[in-house]
Amino acid sequence: MSETIFIGGGGEAYGDKQNLLLKYANRHGLIAGATGTGKTVTLQILAESFSANGVPVFLSDVKGDLSGLAKAGSSDFKLHDAFMKRAGTIGFDDYAYDAFPVTFWDLYGEKGHPIRTTVSEMGPLLLSRLLELSEAQEGILNIAFRVADEEGLPLLDLKDLQSMLVWLGENRQAISIRYGNISTASLGAIQRQLLVLENQGATRFFGEPALELTDIMRTDVDGRGRINILAADKLMG
């Protein structure tokens, strides 16, 4: 492992090797350029460099171009000579083909491991923002989460939350004495917003097993950071 990673060539002929100190790699950067100028290859090289230095990586793949990180390239592919020539021109003379530890993720579970979380882990505040609830409706959602927590009822998916809201409606008089007024109009509004969310396909996102941060922040047996690739073609459609 080193303290720097290669990021490109500098100088008039772009032959001066430019490196980035890893301790400064948490700052924002932008890869820009016209079609065919090497944006994807640049991103791949950065991901490989981070991985080689034990840093886990998370990438969104819109076009499906990044899956090749999982397999080592070879001198047989048609652009090998052009690639190596360009690498030498910008001072990247020590590049070698290698396969890297990659995990594929997909919200739809088609091109990788499904990404899920539970309703409980999302929490009432974030869910209220997602549903665009009013202050009164957000208060009722907080009551639903509080009652579920006190009764030991797990809210795993949207069906669980809908069932909890139905139960609140049926027992709203008793619950209102302890937590405050629960209006049927506000309950109905929350249920309608949940229906909209379900119609947009959000049911795929809620459930178990829930994705943990530790699932992404991992290294392999050799100490290389795992590269996590999210299939984003449908998300960007």
Residue 96 pLDDT class (50, 70, 90 cuts): confident
On whether the CB atoms of residues 108 and 235 are closer than 8 A, the answer is no
Residue of 55, 43, 52, 160 lying closest to 97 (CA atoms): 52
**Between 182 and 83, residue with greater pLDDT:** 182
Which residues does 220 contact at the CB level (< 8 Å), separation at least 6? 101, 226
pLDDT-derived band at 1, boundaries 50, 70, 90: low
Task: State the average pLDDT over residues 212-234.
Answer: 94
| pLDDT on residue 199 | 93
Contact 122, 157 (CB under 8 A): no
- pLDDT above 70: residue 209: yes
Q: How sure is the predictor about 14, in pLDDT bands with cuts at 50, 70 and 90?
A: confident
Q: Which amino acid is at 115?
A: I
Give the span between the Cα atoms of 171 and 168, in whole angstroms: 5
Q: What is the mean pLDDT of residues 68-84?
A: 87
Question: What b/e readout covers 23-62, taking b as 16+ CB neighbours within 10 angstroms?
Answer: eebeeeeeeeeeeeeeebeebbbbbbbbbbbebbbebebe
Tell me what percent of the residues of the chain surpass a pLDDT of 70. Answer: 99
Closest by Cα among 186, 188, 189 to 139: 186
Note the pLDDT of residue 237. Answer: 63
The pTM of the full predicted model, rounded to 2 decimals, is 0.81
Number of helices and strands in the chain (H, E): 8, 6
Token pair listed for 1: 């492992």
Packing angle, helices 119-131 and 184-199, rounded to 10: 100
pLDDT of 83 reads 84
Token pair of 99 as six digits: 């396969």
Average pLDDT over residues 40-57: 93
148: its two tokens: 């579920």
